[in-house]
Amino acid sequence: MNYSDSYVTPDDGEWGRLLPNGTWTGMIGMTVAGKTDAILGPVGLTWERSQVLDFTTTLYFDHNGIFLPKPVPEKDLSNFLKPLSVETWAVLVVVLGLSITIGLLFDHILKGSTEDNHENQPEMLTFKPAWILSNLLSEPSSTLPTTDTGRVFIGTWLITAFIIDTAYVGVLTSILVVPRVPFPVNSLEDLVSYGKIPWALEKGTALHQLLLEATEGIYKEVFERKSFMVYGCYETKERIKTERIAVLCDALTMRKAIHDDFSSTGQCNFHIARKPLYGMSLAYAFPKKSGLTGEFNKWLTSLEESGIILRSVLKETSNATNCERSLKRSGSTSPILGFMDLAGMFLLCIGGLLLSTVVLVAEVIIYQLKLLG
């Protein structure tokens, strides 16, 4: 392109935002004032910026997000409860209480139906609450039911307990062997509600301007509750890692920071929140009516259409992709059995209780017929 260049940086360290008095800060302010001939940021394209600058064709389309330290394994004293969901535990307690109540009722009915002159008749043993508890804890029983009703009833609970114990032990083992790595922040709402990670904004960026001008909603809350401002997401990566803070910035910078950090440490120390904030085009910017804009466009169009730019971006951020994959594997939580996962077992238990009721009625009728006969 036959021109020489030299680099300068803005005194305030900002990219550039519009102040209430109509002036611009940072690199944009320097270019608007004629102190520089180009901004090779690249710079995010917004409507306000397009009114004072000429932008080239899009170099890269990017989005803003939340840059976080790598999640750490969670230590939880309630891990022994985690194999089953809350609703599953609740249903299990209800079924357990219902079964004990029905069992005691069955036992009372059968004993009452045989209280006659048969003094020498052996005691009818239909149900003991300890049987259900011993079944659930895989413990043997010293006594067994002596009635068909009791055998059907306890047989049902033997099968139910076997399914529950097998599923519970399997999931609990996976939870203990594979530590759970939580991803508590995946959106702005998570960042605000989580409350354990302070966050910062990059000063003078398009995102800073957007949040600053927000009058309500989550954007306004995020801006008001920020802990501090930083001048660069990339330059803050060591603070993010050591102080465990979050920074809101563009994904390209986040991925580049992950790539370079992995190249130097061999470790994946960062995490990008899953939900992006908003996307924007990145491009070079020049003063209005600059002759350089057209010259850059000729080369950028060729580079973009040939895929060279995208290939360069992927090459400079390849480690970030590998880290994202490894975090997904380590962050996959152990399975938790919900109600629908064990619904068949509960239906089996209910079916057994109903069958026990039928057998109970039959036994009562048979005993009464014997008394009449």
| Predicted local confidence at residue 333, as pLDDT | 54
- Radius of gyration of the CA atoms of the chain, in A: 35
DSSP track, 336-347: -B-TGGGHHHHH
**Angle formed by the axes of helices 129-136 and 86-113, nearest 10°:** 150
For 39, the token pair is 């901004």
| C-alpha pair distances (Å), 131 with each of 14, 111, 204 | 73, 18, 70
Residue ranges in the chain whose pLDDT is less than 70 = 73-77, 112-124, 177-181, 327-335, 341-342, 371-373
Q: Kindly report, residue by residue over 231-272, the tens digit of the pLDDT.
A: 888 999 999 999 999 999 999 999 999 999 999 998 889 989
Q: With contact defined as beta carbons under 8 Å apart, do 30 and 38 qualify?
A: no
**d(C-alpha 136, C-alpha 68), whole Å:** 43
Find the distance separating the first CA and the last CA of the chain, reported in whole Å.
116
Of residues 245, 244, 271, 243, the one with CA closest to residue 257: 271
| Predicted local confidence at residue 141, as pLDDT | 74
| Predicted local confidence at residue 347, as pLDDT | 85
| Predicted local confidence at residue 117, as pLDDT | 40
What are residue 337's phi and psi, to 5 degrees?
-80, 115
The full length of the chain comes to 373
| Predicted local confidence at residue 109, as pLDDT | 79
Q: Kindly report, residue by residue over 318-339, the tens digit of the pLDDT.
A: 888 888 777 665 555 556 777 7
